[in-house]
Structure formats: C-alpha cells, structure tokens
Amino acid sequence: MKKILVSLLFLNLLFNLFSYSILEDIDGNYVGNVDSRSASLGNTGVAGGDRLFDVTLNPANLSFLKADIGAQFVFLATKDDDNRSIPMYNFFDGYVDNGTYVSNVNIYDEMALGGYYKYNMSDLGFSAGLFYKPYINFESDYEEQVRNDENSDDDNYPPIIAKNFLTGEGSINSLEINFALSYLENYSLGFVLSKLSGDQELTKNIVWTDMGYYNFAPDDPNDPYETLKDYYSYLDREFEAIQIGLGTVAKINERLKLGLTYKPSIKFDVTGDWKVRSDTLVNENTWALNFETYDIEDIVYCYEGDLVVTDSSATFTVTDSTMLADFKTPTRIKFGLFYQPQNIMLTKFYIDVEYVKWEDVNSFYENEFNYYVGVEHQVNNKIPFRFGFKYETNYYLTHRFIDLYSISFADKITMPTFTIGTGFTFLNNLIFDISAEIGHRRYETLDLFMDSYYSHHSLWSTIEPKDRGWENPDTVEETLLKIKAGLSFNW
C-alpha cells in the first residue's frame, strides 16, 4: 500500500511539470530518451534495456524484454531556471560584477505511451511495438520588466514602463511502429518507422504600462504618429516528416552485450506564416489595429532583428538552414556497451557514445561526440540504486544571416548532467521507476528585447537607450532539473 501511495504522489507532482529553455525557441528542444530507468543511468541503454521505452534508444532492445506482452506510461518533467545578467561598471568604467536583470522559472507537462507484443518460435523471435512520444518541444515562457531607473539614486522605486513577453507553445510528436527480429535470444536487429508531426506558435509582445503612457509626452499631441505602440508578432508553423531508424544488439555472453543504432537526418515539410502588428491610419487622430501576414517561405530568423522578411532587392544572402521554412535534425549514431561483473551484489555498468552530425543542420556547426555512463547496484532489500553522468554538446547560431556588415557564426554549448534514480515492483506485474537529472550550462547571447525600442525622448531625462552588441552581451546561467516517472505493465 505504501508503494502505491508513493507512486501516486510522484505522478501527481509530475502531472503539471515540463519546461524548456528559450534558447531553442526557434529550433525547439530535442527530447531524446523518455524512459525513467535509463534516464537515471545517464540516459544509457543502447546495448540492451529492461523497459519498453528503451527501444527509443535502440529498436533492437525490443527483443530482449522479458515479458511477451507489455505497456508503459511515462511522465516527463523539466524545471528550467534561466538567469540573465549584464556586466556592471562603476563611475570609473571599472568592471564590478554581473548583475542579474531577469530570472525565469517555468513548468509544463508531457507524457509518452507505448505497448508491445513478443512471439518466439524455435530459434527465432519476433517483436512489434507501437509508441507515442514527444520528439521536439517548443514550450517556453519568458517575461521581462523594463524600468526607468534614472532617479533610483534618490531612493525612488524605478517604475515599470513596459513589459516584454516571449511565449512558445506546441511540439513535434512521434507515432512510431517498431519491429525486431532475434536469433537464439542472443542477436537482435530492430527497425523503427516514425510519423513526425506537430506545430509551433511563438509570440513576442512588448506592452507599455500605464506608467509608461503617463510619462510619455509627445512633441505634438495632435500628431497620431507621436504615440506609444505595443508590439505584437505571432509565428505559426506546422511540421511533417517521416523518419526511419536501425539498431542491433549482440549478446556476447551472460555478462557482456554490445549495441549500435543509427538515425539519419530529417528535413521537415514546414508550412505557416508570421503576423506582425502594423497599424493603419484611418483618418486624422484615428488608428486601426492591423496585422501584416507573411508566408513562412519569405521569413528568415535573424537574432538581432528577430524575424526578417526576405526581399529580392535585399543586400544579404541567407545562410544554410536559416529560413524558417527549413527545419532539419542531425544524423545520430550511437554505440553502447553493457557489462555485469561477478560480484555478490548485482551490479550493472552501461556506457554509450553518440556521434552527432551537426553539419547536417548547418554548415557553421561541427560534428560532436556525446558521452553517457550509468551504474545500477542492488542493495540488500533488492531496491536498485542508479546513478549516471552524461556530457552533451549543442549548437546555436548567434547571427542568422550574412550581409555587407556582419558575418554568421555558431556558438557551441556543452552541458554536463548528473543523474540518479530508483524503482520497485508491486502487484507482481507493475513496475514504478523514477529518475532525476540536474544539468547546468552557461553561455553568452544578445538581449532578447533590444533597448532602442524604448528610446522615446519623453520617457528619459539623461539616459538614451541603445542596443548592446556582442561587445557587451548577456550572460545566461541556466540550470535544468529533469524528472521522469514511469509505470510499466508486463504479462
């Protein structure tokens, strides 16, 4: 009874959790492994796993599941702490420290579901599974306050003159059919066919507060062009693609297994549009709210200018994969090793190495290796203690286009992550697993909302807001806590 209550408590806590970084607001956040047991082992499991969703790491793992029929339901959770800071200087232009000017903590939810059937005949075995899981997530939530702190030295509380919002919604989900063929229960070859589909809605808003309007005094009150205008933009995209994957597992002996998996690059079919506020003058002193709509084929993402409409007369050329109508994922090749030593207490070691061909996404990226290590140890009461470590590398473009005055270059971001978890069995055929991952990354980027937008002379007395470039970028400290809980049913 106590185990059931603990399981229900964890599931209740996880039901409303899932969040990702706004760093990938355009490219999305790759979900990868969704299984809670392998997540606690540093996201290892290419060389064989004990849970159904280990087939997302290698489709050949389906042959090594112990039961003939099974299902699994997983809750995924990520808590993202995003702290952005800028350099602070004294009156002598001496660097003092980085001052945090905005901090965001966001939570959302996600889930995965799968089932399988396994049939053995003589030396051959056949397995088939059906899965539904998240593939790429676009969820993000960012809020920033713009304050006029000109008189803060006089012990005045800086008033909020505007609020900035960046909100992402939607995901690309994968509906997968998995097949595996085994021989002598020692060798397995797996194949997966995935139907990937989903959508994204990204909104960027700048809203002036009542205090901002109160402080604003136009040169000519009768001139309708002399006014503060809220900024609104909406990006809508829909994605469709088909992906295949291959994997194999070889059981060398009772204590050693090797695995290999391959998933090629994908280029999605993308449709959608971008809407940006463009008020029109109806008559003297009368404005009508209007939106200009641009097809996704004509839009390119430029960090400094947000979204840019391409034009045949433009002086810049678009770089690889920068058009919003293009959406690609890299080729991933992963090798895994499983080893069980001869000791009294049952102990299992897992090591995975992943090769990611990032140049498939953009020519400015470099191909990288990711590393995963995990250990599972059975304690006296047969409750497993699991822990692991993973080291992953991602890329993002700091400039998204080339023109006569700027160049495009990429920034590499690495994130070391520690993992831990456990699990237990109750009601004979019901297994509960839970894991926690904590990772940290630090990177530099430009301001999400450039200061020049707030440069209205009537709002400031001595300050003239100007855009900060790469000579004075934001420093982002980001901590991600991921929790996964799964229920497995075996017959």
What is the Cα–Cα distance from 482 to 438, expressed in whole angstroms? 6
Residue 198: pLDDT band by 50, 70, 90 thresholds? very high
What is the Cα–Cα distance from 73 to 486, expressed in whole angstroms? 6
pLDDT of residue 265: 95
Check pLDDT > 70 for residue 93: no
In a domain, 289, yes or no: yes
Range of the domain at 96: 2-431+441-490
Q: Which residue has the higher pLDDT, 490 or 285?
A: 490
pLDDT of residue 345: 72
pLDDT digits (tens, 9 = 90+) for 365-403: 899 999 999 999 987 667 899 999 999 999 887 766 655
In a domain, 336, yes or no: yes
pLDDT digits (tens, 9 = 90+) for 104-158: 887 767 889 999 999 988 889 999 999 999 999 998 888 988 887 665 555 567 7
pTM above 0.75, yes or no: yes
Structure-token match 């402080």, residue found: 215
Mean pLDDT, range 200-217, rounded to an integer: 84
In a domain, 316, yes or no: yes
Residue 175: pLDDT band by 50, 70, 90 thresholds? very high
Rounded to whole angstroms, what are the CA distances from 163 to 148, 288, 449, 459? 12, 22, 10, 15
Check pLDDT > 80 for residue 458: no
Tell me whether residue 77 is exposed, middle or buried, using C-beta atoms within 10 angstroms of its C-beta: 0 to 12, 13 to 18, 19 or more.
Answer: buried
In a domain, 436, yes or no: no
Structure-token match 């001869």, residue found: 342
Selection from 296-305, 344-353, 376-385, 407-416 with the highest mean pLDDT? 344-353
Check pLDDT > 80 for residue 474: yes
Q: What angle do CA 315, 318, 321 make, to 5 degrees?
A: 175
In a domain, 7, yes or no: yes
In a domain, 131, yes or no: yes
Query: H/E/C letters for each residue in the chain?
Result: CHHHHHHHHHHHHHCCCCCCCHHHCCCCEECCCCCHHHHHCCCCCCCCCCCHHHHHCCHHHHHHCCCCEEEEEEEEEEEEEEEEEEEEECCCCCEEEEEEEEEEEECCCEEEEEEEEEEEECCEEEEEEEEEEEEEECCEEEEEEEECCCCHHHCCCCCEEEEEEEEEEEEEEEEEEEEEEEECCCEEEEEEEEEEEEEEEEEEEEEECHHHHHHCCCCCCCCCCCCCCCEEEEEEEEEEEEEEEEEEEEEEECCEEEEEEEECCEECEEEEEEEEECCEEEECCEEECCEEEEEHHHEEEECCCEEEECCCCCCCEECCCCECCCCEECEEEEEEEEECCCCCCCEEEEEEEEEEEHHHCCCCCCCEEEEEEEEEEECCCCCEEEEEEEEEEEEEECCCEECCCCCCCEEEEEEEEEEEEEEEEECCCEEEEEEEEEEEEEEEECCCCCHHHHCCHHHCCCCCCCCCCCCCCEEEEEEEEEEEEEEEEEC
Overall number of domains in the chain: 1
What is the Cα–Cα distance from 430 to 378, expressed in whole angstroms? 19
CATH code for position 364: 2.40.160.60
Structure-token match 């959770």, residue found: 77
Q: Which residue has the higher pLDDT, 17 or 467?
A: 467
Mean pLDDT, range 351-373, rounded to an integer: 94
Check pLDDT > 50 for residue 11: no
In a domain, 338, yes or no: yes
Check pLDDT > 60 for residue 100: yes
Residue 9: pLDDT band by 50, 70, 90 thresholds? very low
Mean pLDDT of the chain: 83
pLDDT of residue 222: 56
